[in-house]
């Protein structure tokens, strides 16, 4: 019975191609389909060059300006080269989150494998860029300036752990929040449905009102979580711009 709540997270194979490498399969799943759809939608819709913007163009300009200020505030002039990356990241995640709010639509961002894949590759990218920019001086981010030298081994250990755990927290935050929200949807609407099918028509108004509230909350969460992901990515990219 509880499994039904998790059915919405199931990965379904749509197209399977037997690959050359032994047992490895290349599969196109519902998750891949949503990602392709998200990219396609924004590829088609992220445009507008009117001097007086239409409604859609205003939304696009708002997103553009907001992400640009996030990148500018955290990375300064030198970090402007990362703006296209952060904007694409935001559009990708926000599109997946928002599409996922529709009934029967699969949300790839509820899977840690997707979000952790993103966050781990961002951390690997930041590390590589840091070493490319600052050579071995990049290691100095693992030792806070001005701390007594006696504490160095201890501090370096702590800072290394916190550096690595960025990748985990960034990905897990997004997946956990989104999947909790979707589970909440399933549980409370199941509750309302059970009440209705047992004849408790008046009482079922309460879970329905809660559903409305949670739907509004989740609409905000879909955008906020994508924004937080990009904000933290911009902060982490700061290590490749300046050593503190
Ligand atoms: C998701 O995170 C937001 C804060 O960013 C929080 O307000 C909300 O309650 C969380 N959702 C769930 C289902 O925990």
Report the pLDDT averaged over residues 101-108: 90
Q: List the residue whose alpha carbon is closest to atom 1 of ligand 1.
A: 177
pTM of the model: 0.88
Give the integer Cα–Cα distance in Å for 28 and 11.
10
Which residue in 209, 240, 244 sits closest to 80, CA to CA? 240
Report the pLDDT averaged over residues 64-87: 91
Which residue in 235, 220, 227 sits closest to 92, CA to CA? 227
Report the pLDDT averaged over residues 194-208: 87
Report the pLDDT averaged over residues 60-74: 92
Q: Residue 101 C-alpha to ligand 1 middle, in angstroms? A: 15
Given a cut of 90, whether residue 191 has pLDDT beyond it is no
Q: What is the pLDDT of residue 121?
A: 94
Helix (H, G, I), strand (E, B) or coil at 2: coil
Share of residues in the chain with pLDDT > 90 (%): 49
Q: What is the pLDDT of residue 34?
A: 92
Given a cut of 90, whether residue 227 has pLDDT beyond it is yes
Given a cut of 90, whether residue 138 has pLDDT beyond it is no
- In this prediction, residue 24 has a pLDDT band, given cuts at 50, 70 and 90, of low
Say which residue the tokens 């990009």 belong to. 230
Joined tokens for residue 13: 């194979």
Which of 172, 177, 178 maximizes ligand 1 atoms within 8 Å of its Cβ, making it the mutation to test the pocket?
A: 177
Q: Residue 221 C-alpha to ligand 1 middle, in angstroms? A: 6
Given a cut of 80, whether residue 1 has pLDDT beyond it is no
221 lines ligand 1 (CB under 6 A): yes
Say which residue the tokens 């690595």 belong to. 164
- Between 48 and 91, the more confident residue is 91
Q: Residue 139 C-alpha to ligand 1 middle, in angstroms? A: 35
Joined tokens for residue 211: 């559903």
Give the integer Cα–Cα distance in Å for 23 and 118.
25
Q: What is the pLDDT of residue 21?
A: 65
pLDDT tens track for 141-185: 887 777 777 888 888 899 899 999 988 999 999 999 999 999 998
- Between 9 and 109, the more confident residue is 109
- The DSSP bridge partners found for residue 15 are 28
Q: What is the pLDDT of residue 56?
A: 83
């Amino acid at each position: 019975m509880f499994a039904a709540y998790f059915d919405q997270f199931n990965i379904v194979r749509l197209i399977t191609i037997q690959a050359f490498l032994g047992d490895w399969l290349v599969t196109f799943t519902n998750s891949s389909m949503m990602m392709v759809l998200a990219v396609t939608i924004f590829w088609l819709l992220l445009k507008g060059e009117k001097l007086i913007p239409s409604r859609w163009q205003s939304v696009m300009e708002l997103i553009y300006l907001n992400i640009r200020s996030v990148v500018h505030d955290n990375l300064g002039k030198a970090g402007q080269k990362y703006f296209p990356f952060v904007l694409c990241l935001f559009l990708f995640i926000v599109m997946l989150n928002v599409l996922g709010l529709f009934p029967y639509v699969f949300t790839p961002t509820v899977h840690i494998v997707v979000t952790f894949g993103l966050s781990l590759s961002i951390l690997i990218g930041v590390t590589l860029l840091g070493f490319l920019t600052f050579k071995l001086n990049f290691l100095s981010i693992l030792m806070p300036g001005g701390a007594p030298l006696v504490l160095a081994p201890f501090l370096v250990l702590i800072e290394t752990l916190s550096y690595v755990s960025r990748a985990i927290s960034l990905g897990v935050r997004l997946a956990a929040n989104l999947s909790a929200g979707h589970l909440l949807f399933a549980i409370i609407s199941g509750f309302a449905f059970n009440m209705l099918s047992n004849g408790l028509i008046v009482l079922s108004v309460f879970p329905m009102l809660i559903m409305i509230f949670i739907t509004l909350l989740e609409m905000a969460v879909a955008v906020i979580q994508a924004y937080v992901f990009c904000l933290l990515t911009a902060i982490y990219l700061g290590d490749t711009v300046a050593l503190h």
